[in-house]
């Protein structure tokens, strides 16, 4: 029975660390900032990249230098104040044409070094839905309260 309790504590610790890592990544994910060690995270809110990226996926992008972008890379960029993540279909020296995998035409605006945010690395399916849900004040307060209670239990009721 002692092993089951230890496994439970390990799982709880991993979950809390994962939540803290994602929360920290989000804090540093300003489109114009450097990110957290060069990484940023965003929630997919459009079906323009389906089936590659689904609505509700959480994507991790890396601040790869603009000159290293090549055709078929998936990149994130700013367009009218929104972060867009699409595939590069044509790369020139000073600009890149992009298109969503689910779109039939290229994006109107090209991506330049000034509006480029980063290059897609991987996705965590459905995590974006959880992050949107956590933005509700009552949900966030409840989750934070549970984390504090768990920490107090670990501190004051050690076995």
pTM: 0.81
Mean residue pLDDT across the chain: 91
Residue 159 is predicted with a pLDDT of 59
What's the pLDDT score for residue 83? 95
Output the pLDDT for position 1: 57
Report, as an integer, the average pLDDT of 11-30: 86
Strands 39-43, 96-99: pairing kind: unpaired
Report percent pLDDT > 90 for the chain. Answer: 58
Choose between 155 and 85: higher pLDDT. 85
pLDDT of residue 19: 81
Give the pLDDT mean for 66-91.
96
Measure the CA dihedral 103/42/81/89, to 10°: -30
What average pLDDT score do residues 21-36 get? 88
Model confidence pLDDT, tens digit, residues 92-151:
989 999 999 999 999 999 999 999 999 999 999 999 988 888 778 898 899 889 888 888
Q: Which one is predicted more confidently, 110 or 24?
A: 110
Cβ contact 101:87 at 8 Å: yes
How far is CA 59 from each of CA 34, 42, 102, 106, 122, rounded to the nearest angstrom?
16, 5, 17, 22, 6
Residue that the structure tokens 């603009």 belong to: 66
């Amino acid at each position: 029975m002692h092993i089951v309790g230890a496994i439970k504590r390990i799982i709880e610790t991993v979950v809390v660390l994962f939540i803290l890592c994602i929360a920290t990544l989000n804090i540093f994910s300003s489109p114009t900032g450097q990110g957290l060690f060069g990484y940023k995270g965003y929630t997919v809110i459009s079906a323009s990249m389906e089936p590659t990226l689904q609505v509700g996926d959480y994507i991790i992008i890396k601040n790869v230098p603009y000159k290293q972008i090549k055709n078929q890379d998936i990149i994130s960029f700013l367009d009218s104040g929104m972060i867009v993540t699409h595939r590069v279909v044509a790369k020139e020296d000073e600009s890149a044409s992009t298109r969503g995998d689910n779109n039939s035409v290229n994006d109107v605006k090209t991506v330049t070094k000034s509006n480029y945010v980063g290059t897609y690395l991987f996705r965590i399916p459905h995590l974006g839905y959880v992050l949107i849900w956590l933005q509700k004040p009552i949900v966030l307060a409840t989750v934070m309260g549970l984390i504090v209670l768990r920490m107090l239990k670990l501190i004051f009721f050690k076995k």
